[in-house]
């Protein structure tokens, strides 16, 4: 007993996703998590203000405006509770709304933090306050959270706020609080001291922001690159679709480098021109400029033997075939990497930037790694496409050839039948015997032609997806009555057991289902000796509709079962018994069952019988069909 089973370029407008990219400071989850961390730190700051005030006033006996300080602490805590709640709610929203709301909340909290810190510094001694360093911590946090120029603007605001406090206190417009009695009284009035404090604050502040911001930028880019590599590897190793691999490759590279545009060009069959395969962020005009002739493009000739080529300034580089068009597109720097397969270069990956000098070796190395991954996927997808094409051509050839054979065979059959019915005059017994043998050979030939046509159809119609609800019980009943005469002639009992539910619905293609079960029932009758039995059982489970076609026939030798359902295979016992057949029926059945996302199993004991079980899913894709109505 054993089992056999069956189971051009894209014209892209400016990419909106990329336009949003700079707003997303970190991978979204991390951004929200960092904001929550900032909120936790603020809770500590709120309690810290309370604790520090108590220590300073009651222990160190410093002359501080305690009511104000407690108020600031309380305000920080209440504001923070509100922020905590708003951020929690925002995190339940879908992207990109979530990041937009959280970004707004970050801006709001930074502004309030700044105001609270400025007030706190004023209340703890203004320009001579030891709390001035608090601004540095804030600057660092803003540089962690917000991308681009914002941290520098916030740093300037912090220094500006301290300057304003110092000037207002110096002019006597707002009072000055002396926190550390040991400090000279007039220290906050001393312009040299004010200048020195502000200079150090500005210097250390900007250095802190610069170091934090550049480190964060690097981290964000690295994070995006790792995510891109992972995504590309996943797509490349799991997809055989050429479009999907090319699309993923180009889009991921642009996103990972935060580049406004990227493209993938592949060599055409002549190997002389690079045709646009996928593009992101390039205008239609740019795409319309047509393929690149490698012989006229020194850049592409150059890159074939290099790991990459960086064009820092398009306007000064003479290696481009379409330099004016590139400049008209607003592109000023470019990174070009060959997409090298195992044996040949398949094409080139280009990443574009609107400013000169946007690419360095680190970025180039990353794009090269992606291109190497992508090349593997492209080769697999190209090979798969070529195989599919060859398979389709073969099926098409078989279809055309057999179709052409069908008419002469059918003609010969009817002529022979006419002779056997003595329409061409009487025949001797010997002549009749020979003519009958010719008729049998022609019948076998006709069966082969029909099976080959069915096989070709089952291979070429692969795009037809099962999508109609069909009553399988009715299909089987019709087939039963079609086969009943032949079964009766062989004295074979033909029976069918339906489930209690009156109707069994499956999603399928009617002609395919008829072909599947016509083949199985026909085989069961053909390979069962006279006096035997053929039973069809239909059972509806929760996921599958299961149909068993069981016979008490000659069975199949166990060691031959693995080859069953391969094209032209016939079991040895069937051949020895001279039972006519082509060995194609089951391979057609297997293909059709697979197309229906079903399975087919066979169990057989030689001399006792064979049971084929076909399981077909109720649902085709999203839709579900019910049993019994
Ligand atoms: P054909 O019946 O035309 O030879 P099939 O592809 O339908 O081609 O079947 C392939 C082989 O599987 C048959 O030649 C036969 O050896 C074996 N087979 C199929 N169905 C049965 C069955 N019900 N009982 C015994 N052998 C079977």
* 233-242, 445-454, 610-619: range with lowest mean pLDDT: 233-242
Chain segment 70-79, per-residue pLDDT in tens = 998 899 899 9
DSSP 13-58: -S-HHHHHGGG--S-HHHHHHHHHHHHHHHHHHHHHHHHHHHIIII
* 28-32, 134-138, 367-371: range with lowest mean pLDDT: 28-32
Beta-sheet pairing, 599-605 with 609-617 = antiparallel
206: pLDDT strictly greater than 70: yes
Q: Is residue 397 part of a domain?
A: no
461: pLDDT strictly greater than 60: no
Closest by Cα among 463, 458, 446, 462 to 403:
446
Q: Is residue 396 part of a domain?
A: no
Q: Which one has a higher pLDDT value, 358 or 31?
A: 358
* Residue 611 DSSP symbol: E
Closest by Cα among 116, 206, 193 to 161:
116
What was the pLDDT predicted at 601? Answer: 95
Q: Is residue 625 part of a domain?
A: no
Chain segment 44-64, per-residue pLDDT in tens = 888 988 898 898 888 888 878
What was the pLDDT predicted at 26? Answer: 42
Does residue 600's CB lie within 6 angstroms of at least one atom of ligand 1? no
Q: Residues 79, 226: one domain?
A: yes
Does residue 492's CB lie within 6 angstroms of at least one atom of ligand 1? no
99: pLDDT strictly greater than 90: no
Q: Residues 600, 539: one domain?
A: yes
Q: Residues 278, 363: one domain?
A: yes
20: pLDDT strictly greater than 60: no
Q: Which one has a higher pLDDT value, 609 or 30?
A: 609
Q: Is residue 17 part of a domain?
A: no
Q: Is residue 629 part of a domain?
A: no
Q: Residues 156, 194: one domain?
A: yes
Q: Residues 199, 271: one domain?
A: no
Q: Is residue 628 part of a domain?
A: no
Q: Residues 294, 161: one domain?
A: no
Alpha carbon 629 to its chain's center: 39
Q: Which of ligand 1's atoms lies nearest the C-alpha of 584?
A: 6
What was the pLDDT predicted at 13? Answer: 31
Mean pLDDT, residues 243-262 taken together: 88
Mean pLDDT, residues 188-207 taken together: 92
Ligand 1 pocket test, candidate residues 551, 567, 574, most atoms within 8 A of CB: 574
Taking CA atoms only, the protein residue closest to ligand 1 atom 14 is 570
What was the pLDDT predicted at 25? Answer: 42
Does residue 583's CB lie within 6 angstroms of at least one atom of ligand 1? yes
What was the pLDDT predicted at 462? Answer: 52
Q: Which one has a higher pLDDT value, 313 or 403?
A: 313
Does residue 585's CB lie within 6 angstroms of at least one atom of ligand 1? yes
Taking CA atoms only, the protein residue closest to ligand 1 atom 10 is 583
Q: Residues 258, 200: one domain?
A: no
Q: Residues 365, 382: one domain?
A: yes
Q: Residues 503, 607: one domain?
A: yes
463: pLDDT strictly greater than 70: no
Of 432, 459, 486, which residue constitutes the final position of a domain?
A: 459
What was the pLDDT predicted at 620? Answer: 59
Alpha carbon 614 to its chain's center: 32
Mean pLDDT, residues 105-121 taken together: 86
350: pLDDT strictly greater than 90: yes
d(CA 266, CA 278): 9
Q: Residues 150, 101: one domain?
A: yes
d(CA 12, CA 49): 55
Ligand 1 geometric centre to CA of 597 (Å): 23
Q: Is the dihedral of CA 50, 56, 57, 62 positive or negative?
A: negative
For 145-150, the CB contacts below 8 A with 24+ separation are 145/25, 145/31, 145/34, 145/35, 145/38, 145/106, 145/110, 146/25, 146/106, 146/107, 146/110, 147/22, 147/25, 147/213, 147/216, 147/217, 147/220, 148/22
Q: Is residue 573 part of a domain?
A: yes
What was the pLDDT predicted at 296? Answer: 86
Q: Residues 449, 362: one domain?
A: no
Alpha carbon 508 to its chain's center: 27
Does residue 532's CB lie within 6 angstroms of at least one atom of ligand 1? no
21: pLDDT strictly greater than 70: no
Mean pLDDT, residues 496-525 taken together: 87
What share of the chain has pLDDT > 90, as a percent?
Answer: 38
Number of domains the chain is built from: 4
Does residue 571's CB lie within 6 angstroms of at least one atom of ligand 1? yes
Q: What is the mean pLDDT of the chain?
A: 85
* 151-160, 303-312, 461-470: range with lowest mean pLDDT: 461-470
373: containing domain: 241-387
pLDDT-derived band at 501, boundaries 50, 70, 90:
low
Contact by Cβ (8 Å): 298, 343 = no
Q: Is residue 280 part of a domain?
A: yes
What was the pLDDT predicted at 22? Answer: 35
Ligand 1 geometric centre to CA of 568 (Å): 10
> Per this entry, what is the length of the chain?
629
What was the pLDDT predicted at 458? Answer: 75
Chain segment 351-378, per-residue pLDDT in tens = 999 999 999 998 899 899 889 888 888 8
Ligand 1 pocket test, candidate residues 4, 554, 585, 605, most atoms within 8 A of CB: 585
Angle at 592 between CA 590 and CA 595, to 5 degrees: 110
Q: Residues 262, 168: one domain?
A: no
Does residue 521's CB lie within 6 angstroms of at least one atom of ligand 1? no
Chain segment 371-423, per-residue pLDDT in tens = 988 888 888 888 888 888 888 888 788 878 887 888 889 889 989 998 888 87
């Amino acid at each position: 007993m054993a089992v056999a089973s069956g189971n051009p370029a894209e014209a892209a407008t400016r990419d909106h996703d990329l336009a949003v990219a700079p707003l997303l400071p970190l991978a979204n989850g991390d951004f929200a998590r960092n904001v929550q961390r900032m909120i936790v730190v603020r809770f500590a700051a709120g309690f810290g203000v309370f604790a520090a005030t108590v220590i300073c006033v009651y222990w160190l006996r410093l002359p501080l405006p305690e009511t104000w300080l407690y108020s600031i602490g309380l305000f920080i805590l209440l504001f923070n509770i509100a922020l905590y709640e708003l951020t929690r709610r925002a995190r339940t929203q879908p992207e990109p709304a979530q990041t937009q709301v959280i970004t707004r909340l970050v801006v709001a909290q930074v502004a309030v933090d700044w105001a609270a810190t400025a007030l706190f510094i004023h209340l703890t001694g203004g320009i001579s306050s030891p709390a001035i360093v608090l601004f540095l911590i804030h600057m660092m946090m803003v540089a962690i959270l917000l991308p681009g120029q914002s941290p520098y603007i916030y740093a300037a605001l912090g220094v500006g706020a301290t300057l304003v406090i110092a000037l207002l206190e110096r002019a006597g417009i707002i009072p000055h609080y002396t926190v550390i009695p040991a400090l000279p009284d007039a220290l906050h009035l001393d312009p040299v001291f004010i200048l020195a404090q502000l200079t150090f604050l500005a210097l250390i502040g900007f250095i802190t922001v610069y170091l934090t911001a550049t480190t964060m930028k690097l981290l964000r880019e690295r994070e995006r690159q790792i995510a891109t590599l992972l995504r590309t590897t996943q797509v490349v190793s799991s997809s055989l679709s050429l479009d999907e691999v090319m699309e993923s490759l180009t889009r991921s590279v642009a996103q990972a480098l935060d580049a406004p545009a990227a493209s993938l060009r592949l060599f055409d069959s002549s190997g002389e021109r690079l045709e646009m395969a996928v593009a992101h962020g390039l205008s239609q005009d740019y795409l319309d400029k047509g393929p690149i002739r490698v012989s006229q493009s020194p850049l592409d000739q150059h890159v074939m033997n290099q790991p990459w080529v960086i064009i820092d300034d398009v306007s000064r580089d003479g290696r481009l075939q379409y330099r004016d068009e590139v400049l008209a597109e607003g592109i000023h720097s470019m990174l070009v990497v060959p997409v090298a397969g195992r044996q040949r270069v398949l094409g080139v990956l280009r990443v574009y930037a609107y400013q000169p000098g946007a690419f360095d070796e680190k970025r180039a190395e990353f794009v090269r790694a992606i291109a190497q991954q992508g090349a593997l996927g492209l080769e697999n997808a190209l090979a798969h496409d070529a195989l599919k094409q060859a398979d389709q051509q073969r099926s098409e050839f078989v279809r055309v050839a057999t179709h052409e054979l069908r008419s002469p065979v059918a003609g010969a059959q009817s002529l022979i039948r006419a002779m056997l019915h003595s329409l061409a005059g009487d025949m001797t017994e010997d002549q009749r015997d020979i003519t009958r043998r010719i008729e049998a050979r022609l019948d076998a030939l006709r069966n082969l032609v029909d099976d080959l046509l069915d096989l070709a159809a089952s291979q070429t119609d692969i795009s037809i997806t099962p999508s109609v609800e069909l009553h399988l019980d009715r299909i089987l009943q019709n087939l039963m009555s079609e086969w009943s005469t032949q079964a009766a002639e062989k004295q074979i009992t033909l029976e069918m057991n339906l489930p209690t539910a009156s109707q069994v619905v499956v999603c399928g293609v009617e002609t395919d289902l008829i072909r599947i079960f016509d083949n199985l029932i026909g085989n069961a009758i053909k390979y069962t000796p006279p006096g035997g039995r053929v039973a069809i059982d239909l059972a509806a489970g929760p996921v599958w509709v299961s149909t068993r076609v069981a016979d008490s026939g000659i069975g199949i030798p166990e060691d031959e079962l693995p080859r069953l359902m391969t094209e032209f295979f016939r079991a040895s016992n069937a051949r020895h018994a001279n039972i006519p057949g082509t060995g194609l029926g089951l391979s057609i059945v297997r293909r059709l069952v697979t197309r229906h996302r079903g399975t087919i199993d066979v169990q057989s004991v030689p001399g006792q019988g064979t049971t084929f079980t076909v399981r077909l899913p109720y649902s085709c894709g999203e839709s579900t069909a019910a049993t019994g109505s």
